Amino acid sequence: GEEIERPCFVLAGGEAVLSSGVNMAANTGKRVALVTGGGSGIGRATAVRFAELGYSCVVADIDEPSAKETLRMLQTPGIAVQVDVTKATSVEAMVTAAVQHFGRIDCAFNGAGIAERTAATIADTTEDEFDRVMGVNAKGVWLCLKYEIAQMLQQEPVMSDPTRWADKPDVCRFRGVRGSIVNASSLAALYPTPTHAPYGASKWAVLGLTKTAAVEYAKEGIRVNAVCPGLVDTPMHHRNMEKLSPEEREREESLHPVGRIGAPEEVAEAVCWLCSDACPFTTGEHLKIAGGS
Ligand code: NAD
């Protein structure tokens, strides 16, 4: 295929800087997907899947080289953006860069997250760990929702395929969707998480934010859902497993009824479906992708 030029926006100190000087058409008419945590694991697989489905992609991550690496894997136009989801100015600049470049944000996957598996009980958990994990996983998702939704509210509603629901006028009562957002929660949001309280609490918080945002913006044509993956084969999972003995690891990895851990692509598929116009009546929902758990 033809080589597509993919310039990179690099955000330095909250300022958007076009690093390559090449300007793509402001609005290609294609659907635009933004993915945080797009430099690794589930976020990377989701950006790749969005691109396979024809979306232009904004790949955002705190780790700029890995975001650019993901960008190189995409077949559609895209930009890489450095973002720290814990900082309002940085998240706002990410959304600004996306809109400057592609004109709108149709779908967002808020996948950036951290898991510090310190195996500490509540009494032993440090204030620093609690603040760090809640900062990225809970505050980070709130900030992303805040700025993504502010942008989506300014957009004209569209349907990616205007013929899709043509015989069901009620589905298109709001004349399409302004945007659709999926947040990364976890199976850890549905069960107690002994020795990982900050992580568990942060993922319960993601469900609270998801369900609240879904209700607040339902009539505006913005849908907000969450995915709750079980154990998924990503760099995060490997870092966690390194701390376990081989027997503990074996036990943990055969936890799900299907007897294996998931692939990031299996989560990506669900994220893209939830984001798509295939499910206009699905909002405020959380979907387990956890091999029967
Ligand atoms: P990962 O560590 O492979 O990728 C996470 C990405 O988030 C990294 O590229 C990292 O640089 C980025 N990130 C971290 N802090 C950031 C910040 N402050 N600003 C912007 N980006 C930041 O992890 P993964 O396994 O792909 O997990 C993705 C999401 O799915 C996370 O929210 C995670 O909690 C959740 N999840 C993962 C699993 C699993 O088993 N892997 C299970 C359930 C939920």
Contact call for residues 105 and 58 (beta carbons, < 8 A):
yes
Question: Is 147 in the active site?
Answer: no
Question: Is 55 in the active site?
Answer: no
Q: What tens digit of pLDDT does each residue of 128-175 get?
A: 999 999 999 999 999 999 999 999 999 987 766 667 777 776 776 655
Q: What is the mean pLDDT of residues 262-273?
A: 98
Q: What is the mean pLDDT of residues 19-45?
A: 71
Query: Where does the chain show beta strands of DSSP type E?
Result: 9-12, 15-18, 32-36, 56-61, 78-82, 107-110, 179-184, 222-229, 286-289
| Cα distance between residue 117 and residue 140, in whole Å | 19
Which amino acid type is present at position 52? E
Q: What is the ipTM of this complex?
A: 0.99
| Cα distance between residue 21 and residue 76, in whole Å | 19
What's the CA-to-centroid distance between 21 and ligand 1, angstroms? 30
- Tokens of residue 229, six digits: 């993956």
Q: Which of 55, 56, 90, 199 is catalytic?
A: 199
Helices (H) and strands (E) counted in the chain, each on its own, are 9, 9
Ligand 1 shell residues, CB under 6 Å: 36-37, 39-43, 61-63, 66, 83-86, 111-115, 136, 140, 184, 186, 229, 231-232, 234-237
| Cα distance between residue 267 and residue 247, in whole Å | 26
Residues in the chain, total? 293
pLDDT at 5: 40
Mean pLDDT score across all residues of the chain? 88
pLDDT band at 19 (very low <50, low <70, confident <90, very high): very low
Question: Is 199 in the active site?
Answer: yes
How many angstroms from the chain centroid is the CA of residue 23?
25
| Cα distance between residue 265 and residue 41, in whole Å | 9
pLDDT at 257: 97
Q: What tens digit of pLDDT does each residue of 217-262 get?
A: 999 999 999 999 999 999 999 999 998 999 999 999 999 999 999 9
Q: At what angle do helices 264-275 and 41-52 cross, to 10 degrees?
A: 50
Find, among 259, 258, 267, the residue nearest to 228 by Cα.
267
pLDDT at 174: 57
| Cα distance between residue 203 and residue 210, in whole Å | 11
Q: Which of 55, 56, 202, 203 is catalytic?
A: 203
Closest-lying ligand 1 atom to the alpha carbon of residue 66:
9
Closest-lying ligand 1 atom to the alpha carbon of residue 45:
26
DSSP 196: B
pLDDT at 192: 93
| Cα distance between residue 269 and residue 121, in whole Å | 35
Contact call for residues 51 and 70 (beta carbons, < 8 A):
no
* Ligand 1 pocket mutation, candidates 94, 234, 261, 267, criterion most atoms within 8 A of CB: 234
